[in-house]
C-alpha cells in the first residue's frame, strides 16, 4: 500500500494473536487462533500479526496453519534481528497470499546496556543487516525499534533512516513500556518526520502499551503528527497492562473524524461481536465499564441521563450502540429450533464452524435445550468453545460422576473416566467439599498430581436454569495449564474443566531451543 493511498487512511495492524496472546492466561490453541483470525478478517483489519514462529514448534505450526487458511488481510509474523528467525518466519508464512515480516531490535540506552550489551554502532549494523536480509525474502518488511519511547531522538532518527535505506517498507515506533506522555510521543513522531531522510517513502507506525493507561491517547497523538499505522489488540489485551485497544482507537477516529480527518477500513458493527468472541476464547472477561464494548458502554441509570437520551440521544451518547454491534436483539432459541437457524446465529455471532462442527453443536444444543427453556447467545457461545478446543484426542474423558454433600456429612465423590485406549476406571474420594472430592478422585484415576491455582465459577446467563462456566488453572511442575467447561451442573463442569487442564498437561511438548544471538530473552513486547 503506497504512502499516498494511506495519507487519509490509518492502517489497522492487529496483534491480538501475538502480543495479545502474551497476556497471562490468554494463550490459544490453533483452532481458537483460526477463529479469531477469521473474525479479524471479517472485521476489516488490514494486517494480522499471527505470532512469533521461532518461539516454539507450537507457535510455528499455529502461524503456518492460519497463514494457509485466511485470505484477504496481510498476514504478519515477528522475528528478532537475526537470519535464523527470519528464515523460520519465511517458512511459517510461506502459504500466505500476502505476507509481511516484522523484525525488531531494541534501541534504548537501557536495553543496549543491559539486554543487548551492544553499542549504538552495533545496533545500527545489526538492524541494517537484518532488514537487508529480510528484503531478500519479503517484499513487505516492517522494522520496530523496541523501546523507542525511551531512545535518544537523534539516535532513533539515525536507526530509522538507515533501515529505510536498507529497504524497510514500514517503520514502527513502539512505546514498549507505556512510559511516554502523549505530548512527548507526538513530539517524537514529529521529530522523526522532520529529521529522517526518506521517511515519506514508508508508513510510520506506532505500538503503544497501556502501563499508565495512555496507549490509546499516545496512539491518537501520533496519528495527529502523521503516523498512519496503529498497532492494537481487541479489548486491549496484551503484555502487562495491555496494548492500545483496537475498538477504542477506531471509534475515536470515526467519532471525531472532524478532528483527525482520517478513516479506517474497519467494519465497526463487528466490534462488539469480535470482542465477545475473543473474551469467550481466552476467558478474559471485559470489564463492564470498558469503553465501546463494555456492558455499560451504552447504559444509562441516572434519571437525568435517561430523560436526556429520551429527548435526544446526542445529549449523552456520542456513538450509536448499533454502530459498534450492540443490536439489542439476542435471538432466543429453543428445543424446536432447527439446524438452519442455529447455523445462521452462529455466523452472526462471529464464528465459522464447518459441517461436522455444526452437527456436533446441534446435538449439544438440543441436549441443553432439554434442560433449559430458552437458549441465549451466551449459552451458544459457551457451547461453541467446546468445538474450537484442542484437536488432539484427550487422554481422559468423563463417563459418570456422582457426589454426596451436605451439613453433617463428609463430602464424597465417585467418578468414572474413560481413557483413549478404551479403559474405564472408577474411583472415589472424600474432600472438603463436592468439588474437592471430585478433583481428588480424578487425580487418583489419572495419576496426575497438580496444584489448583485458580478456580472461578460464573453464570453464563440469568435464571435458575443457567449454565455454570468453570474456569480454572492448575500447576504441574513449573508450568500452568488452563481448563474451562460449561454445564447446568457446576460439579460436572468442574470435573470437565479439570480434565481439560490435565489432558493439556499430558499432551504438552517442550518448546524448541532457540539460539539467542545476543538477544538472550524470548520475552517480546515490541
| CA-based torsion, 417, 419, 422, 424: positive or negative | negative
**Angle in degrees, CA 120, 181, 221, rounded to 5:** 100
Do the beta carbons of residue 147 and residue 108 sit within 8 Å?
yes
Tracing cell 516454539 back to the chain, one arrives at 56
Are the CB atoms for 251 and 237 separated by under 8 Å? no
Q: Rounded CA gap, 214 and 221, in Å? A: 10
Closest-CA residue to 142 (of 88, 107, 105, 183): 105
Buried-state track 15-33, b at ≥16 Cβ within 10 A, e below 16: bbbbbbbbbeebbbbbbbb
Nearest 10 degrees: Cα torsion 22, 26, 29, 34: -90
Say if CB 95 and CB 121 are below 8 A apart.
Answer: no
Give the distance, in angstroms, between the CA of residue 473 and the centroid of all CA atoms in the same chain: 18
User: According to the annotation, is 19 in a ligand binding site?
Assistant: yes
Q: How far apart are CA 242 and CA 220, in angstroms?
A: 16
Q: Is 209 annotated as a binding residue?
A: yes
Q: How far apart are CA 515 and CA 521, in angstroms?
A: 10
Give the whole-angstrom CA distance, residue 196 versus residue 211. 29
Which of 236, 228, 187 is CA-nearest to residue 208?
A: 236
Whether residue 141 contacts residue 135, with contact meaning beta carbons closer than 8 Å, is answered with: yes
CA distances from 195 to 100, 154, 157, 187, 261 (A): 26, 9, 7, 12, 24
237-263 burial: b if 16+ Cβ within 10 Å, else e: bbbeebbbbbbbbbbbbbeeeeebebe
Residue 207 labeled ligand binder: yes
Spatial distance between the Cα atoms of 368 and 460, rounded to a whole number of angstroms: 13
Whole-angstrom distance, CA of residue 137 vs CA of residue 54: 17
**441, 430 contact by CB (below 8 A):** no
Residue 8's SS3 state is coil
432 has binding-site annotation: no
Q: Is 398 helix (H, G, I), strand (E, B) or coil?
A: strand
Strand order in the sheet with 468-476: 451-459, 468-476, 479-487
Q: To 10 degrees, the CA torsion angle through 216, 220, 222, 225?
A: -170
Dihedral (C-alpha) 436, 439, 441, 445: value to the nearest 10 degrees?
Answer: -170
Length of the chain: 526
What end-to-end distance do the CA atoms of the chain give, in Å? Answer: 23
Residues of each annotated binding site: 19, 207, 209, 243
Residues of each annotated binding site for Mn(2+): 19, 207, 209, 243
Amino acid at each position: 500500500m503506497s504512502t499516498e493511498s494511506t495519507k487519509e487512511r490509518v492502517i489497522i495492524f492487529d496483534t491480538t494473536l501475538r502480543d495479545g496472546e502474551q497476556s497471562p492466561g490468554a494463550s490459544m490453541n490453533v483452532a481458537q487462533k483460526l477463529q479469531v483470525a477469521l473474525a479479524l478478517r471479517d472485521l476489516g483489519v488490514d494486517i494480522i500479526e499471527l505470532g512469533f514462529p521461532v518461539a516454539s514448534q507450537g507457535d510455528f505450526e499455529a502461524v503456518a496453519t492460519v497463514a494457509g487458511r485466511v485470505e484477504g488481510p496481510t498476514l504478519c509474523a515477528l522475528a528478532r534481528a537475526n537470519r535464523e528467525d527470519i528464515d523460520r518466519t519465511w517458512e511459517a508464512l510461506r502459504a500466505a497470499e500476502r505476507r509481511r515480516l516484522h523484525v525488531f531490535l531494541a534501541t534504548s540506552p537501557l536495553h543496549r546496556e543491559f539486554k543487548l550489551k551492544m553499542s549504538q554502532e552495533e545496533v545500527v549494523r545489526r538492524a541494517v543487516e537484518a532488514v537487508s536480509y529480510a528484503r531478500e525474502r519479503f517484499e513487505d518488511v516492517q522494522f520496530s525499534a523496541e523501546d523507542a519511547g525511551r531512545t535518544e531522538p537523534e539516535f532513533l532518527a539515525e536507526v530509522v533512516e538507515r533501515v529505510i535505506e536498507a529497504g524497510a517498507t514500514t517503520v514502527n515506533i513502539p512505546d514498549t513500556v507505556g512510559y511516554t506522555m502523549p505530548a512527548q510521543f507526538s513530539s517524537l513522531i514529529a521529530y522523526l518526520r522532520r529529521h529522517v531522510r526518506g521517511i515519506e517513502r514508508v508508513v510510520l507506525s506506532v505500538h503503544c502499551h497501556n502501563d499508565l493507561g495512555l496507549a490509546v491517547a499516545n496512539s491518537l497523538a501520533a496519528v495527529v503528527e502523521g503516523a498512519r499505522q496503529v498497532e492494537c489488540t481487541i479489548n486491549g489485551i496484551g503484555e502487562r497492562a495491555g496494548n492500545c485497544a483496537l475498538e477504542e482507537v477506531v471509534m475515536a477516529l470515526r467519532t471525531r473524524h472532524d478532528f483527525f480527518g482520517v478513516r479506517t477500513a474497519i467494519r465497526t458493527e463487528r466490534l462488539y461481536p469480535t470482542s465477545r468472541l475473543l473474551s469467550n476464547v481466552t476467558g478474559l472477561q471485559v470489564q463492564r465499564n470498558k469503553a465501546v464494548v463494555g456492558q455499560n458502554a451504552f447504559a444509562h441509570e441516572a434519571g437525568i441521563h435517561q430523560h436526556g437520551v429520551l429527548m435526544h440521544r446526542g445529549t449523552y451518547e456520542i456513538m450509536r450502540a448499533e454502530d459498534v454491534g450492540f443490536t439489542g436483539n439476542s435471538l432466543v432459541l429453543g428445543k424446536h429450533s432447527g439446524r438452519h437457524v442455529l447455523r445462521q446465529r452462529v455466523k452472526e455471532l462471529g464464528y465459522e464452524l464447518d459441517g461436522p462442527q455444526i452437527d456436533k453443536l446441534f446435538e449439544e444444543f438440543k441436549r441443553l435445550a432439554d434442560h433449559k427453556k430458552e437458549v441465549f447467545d451466551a449459552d451458544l457461545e459457551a457451547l461453541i468453545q467446546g468445538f474450537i478446543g484442542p484437536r488432539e484426542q484427550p487422554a481422559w474423558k468423563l463417563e459418570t460422576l456422582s457426589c454426596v454433600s451436605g451439613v453433617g456429612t463428609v463430602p464424597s465423590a465417585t467418578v468414572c473416566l474413560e481413557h483413549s485406549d478404551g479403559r474405564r476406571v472408577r474411583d472415589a474420594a472424600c474432600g472438603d467439599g463436592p468439588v474437592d472430592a471430585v478433583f481428588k478422585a480424578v487425580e487418583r484415576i489419572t495419576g496426575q498430581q497438580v496444584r489448583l491455582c485458580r478456580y472461578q465459577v460464573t453464570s453464563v446467563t440469568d435464571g435458575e436454569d443457567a449454565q455454570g462456566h468453570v474456569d480454572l488453572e492448575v500447576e504441574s511442575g513449573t508450568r500452568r495449564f488452563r481448563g474451562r467447561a460449561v454445564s447446568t451442573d457446576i460439579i460436572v463442569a468442574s470435573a470437565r474443566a479439570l480434565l481439560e487442564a490435565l489432558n493439556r498437561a499430558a499432551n504438552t511438548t517442550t518448546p524448541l531451543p532457540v539460539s539467542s544471538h545476543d538477544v538472550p530473552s524470548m520475552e517480546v513486547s515490541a
